[in-house]
Amino acid sequence: MAVSDTPNGAAFTPPPPPTPEYGITKPISLAGPTDADFNRNLELEKFLVDSGLYESDEETATRQEVLRRLDQVVKSWVKQLTRLRGYTDQMVEDANAVIFTFGSYRLGVHGPGADIDTLCVGPSYVNREEDFFMLLHNILAEMEEVTELHPVPDAHVPVMKFKFQGISIDLLYASISHLVVPEDLDISDGSVLHDVDEPTVRSLNGCRVADQILKLVPNVEHFRTALRCLKFWAKRRGVYSNVTGFLGGVNWALLVARVCQLYPNAIPSMLVTRFFRVYTQWRWPNPVMLCSIEENELGFPIWDPRRNPRDRFHIMPIITPAYPCMNSSYNVSASTLRVMMEQLRHGNRICDEIELNKAQWSALFQPYLFFEAYNNYLQVDIIAVDADDLLPWKGWIESRLRQLTLKIERDTNGILQCHPYPHEYADTLKPCAHSSFFMGLQRKEGVKGQEGQQFDIRGTVDEFRHEINMYAYWKPGMEIYVSHVRRKQLPAFVFPDGYRRTRIPRHMSHLAEKADEDATKCYSGSAERCIKRKNDTEIMDVKPSKPEKRASVSPQRLECFSPESCTSRSGGTSQMSIDCIEGVRLDGSTMKDSDSICEIKSSDSLVGSAICAERPDLQISETGGVDSTFDRQKSRSPDVQNEVSLLNQWSNLQSGCFGSCEVP
């Protein structure tokens, strides 16, 4: 260390350089790991390896080879176009395109079998509509290494999906205002956004956001391990899906990065437990931001609820750090936020037990038993003639399933809540190409219904069905059917072992069998029979031989809506009415279910769940508020109690960092 003399002859030691600060607020804690934290970290890393979350060296090499080959293909494609445009031989020689990666691969958290998000940056005279989606598409289609080629030009971010040597690729295109794209192009430089349209900005920002995240975290390797862990957790608990209204890869990355900023000296095991501790107390809709929102003379719209009225209705804003800063989680609804908050509280309880040596890491990653959680479900069956037609048809419907959730809650004034499950299922015994999605249904917690009250969602489903029918690339045989099924009527193919976990009572077996038979009626014949259903006015009509006496659930019919106008067997309007919906059974709850009585006794995991969906800020208080997970102070160590106290104080402060974003 340098030492200099002062004028009076005394030695002067310069102060150490300031510790870099990350984020828009000061960290919650600068504490480093203890011996116990190091031990838990070793156990966590071993668990991740044993769970198969890391790819082999062979697959890593294959990915690198695929990216090298793809880079060659796009360079050759641009040179071919340059020649066709009549440019000089020198221009043809200089013509270039560059491949960038983003998403999980760029962040270094991809696992075996994961796709690679890629961006091709080309010169100004190569366009997306004709050159990319037509000429490059045809080049790829003729290559033996390329399979399952599927362009999606009308997506919010236009993309071409395919497999290259068995590796799934999502390829975007951005044409920048350069005649020649340099090989060392710095995509984080704001100049790449000059003279480009908004689809191009969205395409470029996948890479720009990934690069910014890696620059804004204190320790990249700790961030990667924690993110890999929490993505695995989110998938196991059924809350990983941006398209369904939960959170996708970039959302989880931003949330984890913010926790890394708040605990800059924490190792992965600490970051995971602090992740749950922070976000069970976060005062949504206050935004998660890694840096201040930047304004620019380029004039692209940025997320700002003070100026943009639409931004005020975002209930879980997670803001991207690269200009133009946008809310990456605008798909989140009140329903999906409620589900995620319940899962975060569940994870927080497990982490408390792990820190007290009362549980192992494996307990955190137990799968969520979705088909045991509700008494009522919506089943959405998607059918096509073959697998090639099913892929785009399913993608279209899946991207709009969240609209069905919003419509149901709108038309029932939020009393009937939906839990869309982001996994698809298929019955391998059926001959038609098909896929099924499910939604859990329940009455809003704390809202009592009148005896015999029904939720009539016929019009809601019919509206959704008509919107689905607007698919521009519809072909004969593409069908969608929506049916209301009770837990005991769920098809066997949704269960891991192919059968229900609980035995169906004898008096219900004939009803369940009939429901299963009718629900798969369209699958039972050849592909031609499935196509024929397009003009078939007969719909599924399943009801008991005599009305059930139980007050909780008594579905009058199970309806299946076809893309054509839906009429009942008697020629009237189709019906989908759901009786008084019961509550949800979560971990630790007990339930009695018989013909004459339905009794639900829930654990404290349900306390305040309905309140948090409407007013997430109500779950914060010095003593834990309505979130019972913070009432158990006696079981915590003094260090954890102090940290929770600091976190409560910090949560009150952070709500003012963008105070005007509160939804009015």
Q: Is the pLDDT of residue 296 over 90?
A: no
Is residue 627 a part of any domain in this protein? no
Q: Which of 231, 394, 407, 444 is catalytic?
A: 231
End-to-end, the C-alpha distance of the chain in Å comes to 56
Coil, strand or helix at 482: strand
Q: Is the pLDDT of residue 343 over 80?
A: yes
What kind and span of H or E run contains 416?
strand 416-425
Q: What is the pLDDT of residue 548?
A: 37
Active site (annotated) includes residue 104: yes
Q: Among 211, 243, 275, where does a domain finish? A: 211
CA distances from 447 to 381, 444, 615, 618 (A): 31, 6, 16, 18
Q: Among 211, 238, 268, where does a domain finish? A: 211
Coil, strand or helix at 648: helix
Q: What is the pLDDT of residue 165?
A: 94
Coil, strand or helix at 147: strand
Same domain, 406 and 327: no
Same domain, 65 and 177: yes
Active site (annotated) includes residue 536: no
State the alpha helices, DSSP H only, in 469-597: 506-519, 527-532
Do the beta carbons of residue 605 and residue 346 sit within 8 Å? yes
Do the beta carbons of residue 149 and residue 388 sit within 8 Å? no
Residue 117, token pair as written in the block: 């998000």
Do the beta carbons of residue 657 and residue 290 sit within 8 Å? no
- Which of 362, 509, 521, 302 minimizes the C-alpha distance to 432? 521
- Residue of 13 and 204 predicted with greater confidence: 204
If pLDDT is split at 50, 70 and 90, which confidence band does 376 have?
very high
Domain range enclosing 175 = 57-211
Count the domains in the chain.
3
Q: Which residues are annotated as a binding site for ATP?
A: 102-104, 115-117, 170, 231, 240, 249-250
Residue 288, domain CATH: 1.10.1410.10
Q: What is the pLDDT of residues 517-549, one digit of tens each?
A: 343 333 333 333 333 333 333 323 333 333 333
Q: What is the pLDDT of residue 11?
A: 59
Percent of the chain at pLDDT > 70 equals 71
Same domain, 47 and 67: no
- Residue of 605 and 240 predicted with greater confidence: 240
Same domain, 62 and 41: no
Q: Is the pLDDT of residue 174 over 70?
A: yes
Q: What is the DSSP string of 335-404?
A: HHHHHHHHHHHHHHHHHHHHHTTSS-HHHHTPPP-GGGT-SEEEEEEEEESSHHHHHHHHHHHHTTHHHH
- Which of 605, 639, 141 minimizes the C-alpha distance to 348? 605
Is residue 542 a part of any domain in this protein? no
Residue 459, token pair as written in the block: 């019009």
Q: What is the pLDDT of residues 557-576, one digit of tens each?
A: 333 333 333 333 233 333 34
Active site (annotated) includes residue 57: no
Rg of the chain's alpha carbons, rounded to an integer?
A: 27
Percent of the chain at pLDDT > 90 equals 56
Is residue 571 a part of any domain in this protein? no
User: In the beta sheet, which residues pair with residue 100?
Assistant: 119
Same domain, 481 and 395: yes
Is residue 646 a part of any domain in this protein? no
Segment among 13-27, 68-82, 372-386, 456-470 with least mean pLDDT: 13-27
pTM of the predicted structure, to 2 decimals: 0.76
Q: What is the mean pLDDT of the chain?
A: 78
Q: What is the pLDDT of residue 498?
A: 60
Q: Is the pLDDT of residue 504 over 80?
A: no
Q: Which residues are annotated as a binding site for Mg(2+)?
A: 115, 117, 170
Q: How many CB atoms lie within 10 A of CB 207?
A: 24
Is residue 251 a part of any domain in this protein? yes
Q: Which of 37, 117, 389, 516 is catalytic?
A: 117
Residue 102, domain CATH: 3.30.460.10
If pLDDT is split at 50, 70 and 90, which confidence band does 15 have?
low
Q: How far apart are CA 161 and CA 149, in angstroms?
A: 6
What kind and span of H or E run contains 645?
helix 638-654
Is residue 88 a part of any domain in this protein? yes
Is residue 498 a part of any domain in this protein? no
Residue 410, domain CATH: 3.30.70.590
- Residue of 148 and 508 predicted with greater confidence: 148
Active site (annotated) includes residue 231: yes
Q: Is the pLDDT of residue 345 over 70?
A: yes
Tokens 């397009």 sit at which residue?
A: 534
Q: How far apart are CA 112 and CA 57, in angstroms?
A: 11
Q: Which residues are annotated as a binding site?
A: 102-104, 115-117, 170, 231, 240, 249-250
487-491, 622-626, 646-650 — most confident range: 487-491
Q: Is the pLDDT of residue 634 over 70?
A: no
Same domain, 195 and 128: yes
Same domain, 137 and 184: yes
Q: What is the pLDDT of residue 44?
A: 97
Active site (annotated) includes residue 631: no
Q: What is the pLDDT of residue 211?
A: 95
Burial class (CB in 10 A: 0-12, 13-18, 19+), 655: middle
Same domain, 222 and 347: yes
Q: How far apart are CA 308 and CA 463, in angstroms?
A: 29
Q: What is the pLDDT of residue 13?
A: 62
Same domain, 426 and 284: no
219-233, 306-320, 601-615 — most confident range: 219-233
Average pLDDT for 203-213 = 95
Is residue 338 a part of any domain in this protein? yes
Same domain, 310 and 188: no
E strands within 34-178? 98-102, 116-122, 146-152, 159-164, 167-175
Q: What is the pLDDT of residue 500?
A: 62
Q: Among 363, 393, 424, where does a domain finish? A: 363
Q: Which of 22, 131, 161, 170 is catalytic?
A: 170
79-83, 452-456, 531-535, 630-634 — most confident range: 79-83
Same domain, 351 and 412: no
Q: Which of 104, 203, 333, 552 is catalytic?
A: 104
Average pLDDT for 503-520 = 39
User: How does DSSP classify residue 161?
Assistant: E
Q: Which of 71, 94, 115, 617 is catalytic?
A: 115
Residue 498, token pair as written in the block: 């192919």
Average pLDDT for 98-119 = 95
Same domain, 102 and 119: yes
